[in-house]
Chain A
Amino acid sequence: MDWEALSLSLRLGLFTILVLLPVGIAVGRWLAFHDFPGKSAIEATAALPLVLPPTVLGYYLLVAFGAASPIGQLWHSAFDRPLVFTFEGLLLASIIFNVPFAVQPIQRGFEAIPREVREAAICCGMTPWKALRTVEIPIAWPGILTGLVLSFSHTLGEFGIVLMVGGSIPTETRTIAIAIYDRVQAFDDRGAATMSALLLGFSLVSIALTFAFSRRIGRRLDRS
């Protein structure tokens, strides 16, 4: 049981949803409330990581952020560490790769808010922030939570990207998924089995939670 790897994965998931919470709400809300030419293109772009093979994204991240790239070199001179093969690089990859898992459920959550309720908030003279806090989020929260749960559990399962951009460095980029791969190669069947069972259990719990929250999207309004 590689506790360091588990801790690393949990931290990666946590930071990913910390960033995707505001980003997901901003983008999901914007897509839910506005219709404009090119909206489908934006939605498709946000959904791209769903169908993109992780190694493809990993490849492009290496090209865009690797040591040879301008961004990579800028980062290196600023922080004295490369962007790839570090926790920060993994976090960046994780954020990009989880955009659809965060944005889509949150968008559904905000779409469930009836137009009249939003218009009433505007008529009351609420600022967008107040409307968001007091009117929209109380209705959209199941979608927001679904997005966070999905993003978190998806982060724990990431493999292809982590392998390409991470480098399997213990306490830095060796996530629990990579650790399982490593244990198998080390002929440590027990370690691999323990961690696999743990991840299986965790995935079951998170998918059950996701379904439970999804059922609640829009439900609160039906009661009145």
Chain B
Amino acid sequence: MANRISDPLFFLSALFAGLLSVAAAGLPATAATATVAAASDLRFALAEIADNFTARTGHAVRLTFGSSGNFSRQIRQGAPFDLFFSADENYVLGLARDGLTRGTGALYAVGQIVIFVPEGSPLQPDGSLNDLRHALEGGRLRKFAIANPEHAPYGKRAEEALRHEGLWAAIQSRLVLGENVSQAAQFAVSGSTDGGIIAYSLVLSPRMARRGRYALIPEALHSPLRQRVVLLKNAGLAAERLYDFLRTVPAKSILERYGFVLPDSGG
């Protein structure tokens, strides 16, 4: 009996290994495509920049949005990205320190946070967070959305602002955490929360603008959102060109339209 089992099993194992190798040959990303990991606050702005870039150069851009901390971890685990846009420059600097990037990249923008309240919310868009304080003290706050402070820079700044105003302890039981600032925005808009603290660049998109109101939160309430972009070790030609494209006027004007503050110098 043992002999009869071993032959087919051996053959089938070889077939298995063969098929897996064939699949491996499948879908190479070419130098003509830039594979980009970008912080979620760039969801709308970078999509526009990428379209613009593709129209001018013909290079395709594959965009993946998520939290900066998450991407930093994935890159350390060998994720095949060419370009990384981080909402917090410390993630880029950390990767550079560990030799995973080409240099320390460039500062491309400074981000801002807003308090966003959906239509029908009892909250007011008050950037000083006083209205939020009153809602909390009056026990009128249901749920409040921010990005996860552990790996999303916008979440961390939201926490800092709430701590600055002495609201962090009181708001704990009301918080809903988005995996990245885009998901936090989606929670804030959905109506199942009373609002949230999210990225300015997201509320400026038409998709969000008509679904609620917002107010900028003063930068004094949190540490700055210095955003850095960097080419990764194995970046191809398309990614290099995209990296250079960011310095051009069309790209910069798109960033400005989405509320990003552009650095004066090259970074």
A residues apposed to B, CB below 8 Å: 15, 18-19, 22-23, 26, 30, 34, 62, 66-68, 72, 76, 79, 81-82, 84-88, 91-92, 128-129, 167-172, 174, 182, 184-188
Q: Contact between B80 and A91 (Cβ–Cβ < 8 Å)?
A: no
Cross-chain contact of A76 among B5, B8, B65, B78 (Cβ < 8 A): B78
Which of A81, A170, A185 has its CB near the most chain B CB atoms (within 10 A)?
A185
Q: Contact between A185 and B79 (Cβ–Cβ < 8 Å)?
A: no
Q: Contact between A84 and B24 (Cβ–Cβ < 8 Å)?
A: no
Q: Contact between A23 and B12 (Cβ–Cβ < 8 Å)?
A: yes
Not counting A85-B77, A170-B64, A186-B182, a sample of 14 additional A-B residue pairs whose C-beta atoms are within 8 angstroms of each other reads A26-B8, A66-B77, A81-B80, A82-B80, A85-B78, A128-B4, A128-B8, A172-B62, A182-B65, A185-B180, A185-B182, A186-B43, A187-B186, A188-B207
Q: Contact between B23 and A85 (Cβ–Cβ < 8 Å)?
A: no
Q: Beta-carbon contacts of B8-41 to A below 8 Å, as 1s and 0s?
A: 1100100110011001101111000001000010
B residues apposed to A, CB below 8 Å: 1, 4-5, 7-9, 12, 15-16, 19-20, 23-24, 26-29, 35, 40, 43, 62-66, 74, 76-81, 180, 182-183, 185-186, 189, 205, 207-208
| Known contacts A128-B4, A185-B43, A26 near B9 by CB under 8 Å | yes
Cross-chain contact of A91 among B23, B64, B74, B81 (Cβ < 8 A): B23
B4 cross-chain contacts in A, Cβ below 8 A: 128
Which of A79, A81, A92, A186 has its CB near the most chain B CB atoms (within 10 A)?
A186
A168 cross-chain contacts in B, Cβ below 8 A: 64, 66
Q: Contact between B182 and A169 (Cβ–Cβ < 8 Å)?
A: no
| Known contacts A68-B77, A171-B62, A187-B189, A19 near B19 by CB under 8 Å | yes
The 8 closest A-B pairs by CB, nearest first: A67-B78, A82-B78, A85-B79, A187-B207, A185-B182, A22-B12, A88-B24, A170-B62
Distance (whole angstroms) from the CB of A198 to the closest CB of chain B: 21
19 A-B contacts, Cβ less than 8 Å apart? Answer: A15-B23, A19-B20, A22-B16, A34-B1, A66-B77, A68-B77, A81-B80, A82-B79, A82-B80, A85-B74, A85-B78, A87-B26, A128-B7, A167-B64, A168-B64, A185-B40, A185-B65, A185-B182, A186-B65
Q: Contact between A170 and B63 (Cβ–Cβ < 8 Å)?
A: yes
CB-based A-B contact count at 8 angstroms: 100
State in angstroms the CA–CA spacing of A15 and B19 once bound together: 8
Q: Contact between A85 and B80 (Cβ–Cβ < 8 Å)?
A: yes
A184 cross-chain contacts in B, Cβ below 8 A: 186
State in angstroms the CA–CA spacing of A28 and B230 once bound together: 50
A62 cross-chain contacts in B, Cβ below 8 A: 77
Cross-chain contact of B27 among A72, A171, A174 (Cβ < 8 A): A171
State in angstroms the CA–CA spacing of A76 and B183 once bound together: 33
Q: Contact between A66 and B78 (Cβ–Cβ < 8 Å)?
A: yes
The B interface, classified by DSSP as helix, strand, loop or mixed, is helix
Nearest-CB residue, chain B, relative to A76: B78
Q: Contact between B16 and A19 (Cβ–Cβ < 8 Å)?
A: yes
Nearest-CB residue, chain A, relative to B178: A185
| Known contacts A82-B78, A82-B79, A172 near B65 by CB under 8 Å | no
State in angstroms the CA–CA spacing of A82 and B27 once bound together: 13
A182 cross-chain contacts in B, Cβ below 8 A: 65
Distance (whole angstroms) from the CB of B155 to the closest CB of chain A: 15
B65 cross-chain contacts in A, Cβ below 8 A: 182, 185-186
Nearest-CB residue, chain A, relative to B8: A26
Nearest-CB residue, chain A, relative to B211: A187
A87 cross-chain contacts in B, Cβ below 8 A: 23, 26-27
State in angstroms the CA–CA spacing of A188 and B63 once bound together: 16
Q: Contact between B35 and A169 (Cβ–Cβ < 8 Å)?
A: yes
Nearest-CB residue, chain A, relative to B180: A185
Q: Contact between B79 and A167 (Cβ–Cβ < 8 Å)?
A: yes
B74 cross-chain contacts in A, Cβ below 8 A: 85, 167
Distance (whole angstroms) from the CB of B6 to the closest CB of chain A: 11
Cross-chain contact of A67 among B8, B76, B205 (Cβ < 8 A): B76
B81 cross-chain contacts in A, Cβ below 8 A: 169
B62 cross-chain contacts in A, Cβ below 8 A: 169-172
Cross-chain contact of B78 among A72, A186, A188 (Cβ < 8 A): A72
Nearest-CB residue, chain B, relative to A189: B207
Cross-chain contact of A185 among B7, B24, B29, B183 (Cβ < 8 A): B183
A76 cross-chain contacts in B, Cβ below 8 A: 78
